[in-house]
């Protein structure tokens, strides 16, 4: 296992759990990358819709981003409370489940699972797309590059949450650090120049205005586009129990730092865009640049710092998928704990992580990357809906939560108002996103959510049935402990058959050795051998005689006559168990299996499928 140890790290004992708890320094990159990197594209997403206004659009951008920041603030305070209220992990699913009931909880679960998978796919493909626009010769390998990054993220995360934090801490702070430097330097210049800084390199001129005023619909769309910056906020409250004690405190601090940084980045870039007169470019324009690229050029010019900044953004984007790796397994565990997902999601792997969640996320993300050829633009319309459904349900759940608290409405009216307002705002945003993006791909998400909910209900139903049928609180029943009838399929008399017969004699006095005789075979005198080799010694010892049953098979089939015999035997002896002894050859090399019929395997399968509670299989291995 030393290769696995090298790749994934040595197994951790359950008692070592505290060593895997993380602090704030690791919590920010692990849970914050997705949120933070959205500063690189969120404002631009909002500004793209303002292009028709020309330079005049810049008047709208600060208010719009401020509105997003207010919403972000509301959501932030809401989640601070959620973390305090649910110190074992309070994602939307948990909050909805405890306060709104099963239906809303499953809706939140389905929405969040889809969103985490899309977060991983979007993050990775955004990073790769940024790389391939810089180096177009890599374009044909987009899917391969995406899968390589996915594999790396998956392995780093399987090594444990601490190691993932350590690996991502440098890129995260590089990303934040360079952008903060741009903002700081830009703001300094702006103030020094009394609000009218001179760009080092002039930004491309704004397109001529085609409209004069912004309608309410476009305003809402711009706002909801800007809300893309909020998708990562859920992750911290979902992963509270990854933190060291005092965990709620550490989680809240991490969330505060993430949101704080995000506010600085979002507001800073927007403010400077207006100060420098930077508008968004049409994404398919010749020499297209992102807004951040134009801004950095305007503030610092195209020196080495520009390339460091762009490089940090590229790296941070491609690893922003990591938030999904931190969130999805914990979410799956929470759902599986209520038996709506398979139990494997509850198991913790060698490094104390919910490794099956990581496997599932990796698998689904790979499928998504394949289906969409690793192109971010194709994925974006499916995205964000899930996050906003979850926000809405979580905050609506918190409203109910407050009402149920001691003191109720009277004591908590402010909390309820804040959460209720947040739920309303995110609810409206959800609708806007769904409507504006529906035909371009959001319908896929809208369709997948009920499918996922149905699957989860099916899983729950299955587990409930199993639990009901397996539960046994009655004492061990010792009545009717009758030895089984033993059936030994026998091709010829050899040492394997002898071994099976010896075991059969231990089990029962009633043994049927069944030989299927096909006309094709050479006629070995099995009857004679049976008399000599078996009945002889048995009689000498005075034991009960096993019976040799010979069945002719006209059609050269072996298994079906055997099955028929076993089922008939079981039918003729109601209440008796039938033990089928199957000698099985174990070879040393895999290829040797090709040299032996797989009849034993097939018979096992048929017995399991066609058999019933009274048929037991006994496997006698024979090692060559």
Q: Which of residues 198-237 bind a second copy (CB under 8 A)?
A: none
* Total residues binding a second copy (CB under 8 A): 86
Site for a second copy in 267-326 (CB under 8 A): none
Straight-line distance from the first to the last Cα atom of the chain, in angstroms, rounded to the nearest whole number: 26
Residue 465 binds a second copy, judged by CB under 8 A: yes
CA 239, 245, 249 angle in degrees (round to 5)?
70
Phi and psi torsions of 594, nearest 5°: -65, -20
Residue 2 binds a second copy, judged by CB under 8 A: no
Q: Which stretch binds a second copy (CB under 8 A): 135-143, 173-181, 234-242, 336-344?
A: 336-344
Q: Which residues contact 306 (CB under 8 A, 6 or more apart)?
A: 293, 296, 297, 300
Near a second copy by CB under 8 A: residue from 384, 493, 512, 548: 493
Interface mask toward a second copy for 566-585; x: CB under 8 A: -----------x-x----xx
Residue 453 binds a second copy, judged by CB under 8 A: no
CB of 617 to a second copy, least distance (A): 4
Near a second copy by CB under 8 A: residue from 15, 137, 210, 439: 15
Near a second copy by CB under 8 A: residue from 212, 304, 410, 472: 472
Among 238, 454, 449, CA closest to 340 = 454
Among 260, 265, 298, CA closest to 179 = 265
Near a second copy by CB under 8 A: residue from 555, 572, 574, 575: 555
CA 222, 227, 229 angle in degrees (round to 5)?
125
CA 74 – CA 80 distance, rounded (Å): 10
Q: Which long-range contacts (CB under 8 A, 24 or more apart) does 131-138 make?
A: 131/314, 131/318, 134/314
Residue 596 binds a second copy, judged by CB under 8 A: yes
CB of 620 to a second copy, least distance (A): 6
Q: Which stretch binds a second copy (CB under 8 A): 96-104, 283-291, 327-335, 534-542?
A: 534-542
CB of 262 to a second copy, least distance (A): 35
Give the nearer residue to a second copy in terms of CB position, either 133 or 464. 464
Near a second copy by CB under 8 A: residue from 519, 524, 527, 571: 519
Q: How far is CA 530 from CA 487, 521, 527, 545, in A?
A: 16, 18, 5, 11
CB of 355 to a second copy, least distance (A): 11
Near a second copy by CB under 8 A: residue from 282, 373, 494, 525: 494
Q: Answer whether 318's CB lies under 8 Å from 127's CB.
A: yes
Q: Which long-range contacts (CB under 8 A, 24 or more apart) does 427-431 make?
A: 427/388, 427/392, 427/396, 429/71, 429/223, 429/224, 429/227, 429/388, 430/385, 430/388, 430/389, 430/391, 430/392
Packing angle of the helix pair 92-99, 102-134 (nearest 10 deg): 170
Near a second copy by CB under 8 A: residue from 503, 565, 567, 600: 503
Give the nearer residue to a second copy in terms of CB position, either 196 or 610. 610
Site for a second copy in 338-397 (CB under 8 A): 342-344, 347-350
CB of 599 to a second copy, least distance (A): 10
Near a second copy by CB under 8 A: residue from 144, 537, 545, 571: 537
552 membership: H or E segment, kind and range: strand 547-553
Q: Which stretch binds a second copy (CB under 8 A): 20-28, 264-272, 424-432, 504-512?
A: 504-512
CB of 449 to a second copy, least distance (A): 20
| CB atoms closer than 10 angstroms to residue 548 | 19
Q: Answer whether 259's CB lies under 8 Å from 12's CB.
A: no
354: helix, strand or coil? coil
Q: Which stretch binds a second copy (CB under 8 A): 166-174, 286-294, 403-411, 461-469?
A: 461-469
């Amino acid at each position: 296992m030393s290769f696995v140890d090298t790749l994934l790290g040595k197994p951790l004992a359950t008692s070592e759990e505290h060593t895997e708890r993380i602090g704030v320094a690791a919590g920010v990159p692990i849970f914050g990358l997705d949120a933070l990197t959205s500063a690189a594209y969120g404002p631009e997403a909002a500004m793209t819709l303002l292009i028709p206004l020309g330079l005049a659009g810049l008047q709208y951008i600060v208010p719009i981003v401020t509105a997003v920041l207010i919403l972000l603030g509301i959501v932030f305070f809401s989640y601070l409370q959620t973390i305090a209220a649910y110190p074992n992990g309070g994602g939307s699913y948990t909050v909805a489940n405890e306060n709104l009931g099963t239906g809303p909880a499953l809706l939140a679960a389905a929405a969040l699972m889809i969103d985490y998978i899309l977060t991983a796919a979007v993050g990775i493909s955004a990073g790769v797309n940024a790389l391939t626009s810089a180096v177009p010769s890599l374009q044909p390998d987009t899917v391969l590059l995406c899968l390589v990054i996915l594999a790396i993220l998956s392995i780093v995360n399987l090594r444990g949450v601490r190691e993932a934090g350590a690996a991502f801490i440098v890129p995260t702070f590089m990303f934040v650090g360079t952008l903060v430097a741009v903002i700081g330097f830009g703001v300094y210049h702006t103030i020094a120049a009394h609000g009218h800084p001179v760009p080092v390199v002039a930004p491309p001129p704004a397109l001529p205005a085609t409209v004069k005023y912004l309608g309410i619909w476009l305003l809402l769309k711009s706002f909801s586009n800007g809300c893309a910056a909020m998708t990562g906020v859920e992750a911290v409250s979902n992963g509270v129990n990854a933190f060291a004690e005092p965990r709620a405190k550490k989680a809240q601090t991490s969330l505060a730092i993430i949101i704080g940084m995000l506010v600085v980045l979002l507001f800073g870039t927007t403010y400077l865009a207006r100060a420098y007169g930077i508008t968004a470019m049409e994404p398919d324009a010749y020499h297209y640049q992102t807004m951040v690229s134009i801004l950095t050029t305007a503030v610092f010019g195209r020196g080495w710092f520009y390339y460091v900044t762009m490089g940090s953004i590229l790296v941070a984007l491609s690893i922003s998928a990591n938030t999904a790796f931190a969130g999805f397994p914990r979410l799956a565990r929470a759902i599986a704990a209520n038996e709506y997902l398979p139990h494997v999601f509850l198991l913790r792997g060698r490094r104390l992580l919910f490794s099956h969640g990581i496997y599932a996320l990796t698998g689904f993300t790979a499928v998504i990357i394949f289906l969409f050829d690793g192109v971010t633009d194709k994925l974006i319309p499916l995205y964000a809906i899930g996050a906003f459904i979850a926000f809405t349900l979580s905050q609506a759940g918190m409203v109910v939560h407050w009402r149920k608290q001691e003191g109720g409405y009277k004591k908590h009216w402010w909390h309820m108002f804040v959460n209720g307002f947040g739920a309303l705002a995110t609810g409206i945003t959800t609708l806007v996103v769904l409507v504006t993006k529906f035909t371009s791909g959001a319908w896929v998400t809208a369709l997948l959510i009920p499918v996922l909910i149905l699957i989860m209900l099916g899983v729950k139903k299955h587990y409930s049935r199993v639990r009901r049928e397996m539960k046994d609180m009655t004492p061990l029943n010792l009545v009717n402990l009758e030895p089984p009838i033993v059936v030994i399929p026998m091709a010829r008399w050899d040492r394997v058959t002898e071994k099976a017969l010896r075991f059969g004699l231990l089990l029962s006095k009633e043994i049927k050795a069944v030989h299927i005789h096909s006309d094709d075979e050479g006629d070995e005198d099995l009857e004679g051998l049976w008399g000599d080799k078996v009945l002889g010694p048995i009689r000498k010892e005075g034991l009960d005689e096993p019976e040799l049953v010979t069945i002719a098979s006209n059609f050269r089939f072996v298994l079906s006559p055997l099955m028929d015999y076993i089922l008939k035997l079981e039918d003729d002896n109601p209440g008796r168990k039938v033990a089928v002894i199957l000698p099985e050859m174990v070879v040393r090399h895999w290829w040797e299996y090709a040299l032996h019929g797989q009849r034993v395997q097939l018979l096992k399968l048929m017995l399991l499928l066609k058999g019933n509670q009274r048929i037991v299989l006994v496997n006698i291995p024979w090692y060559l």
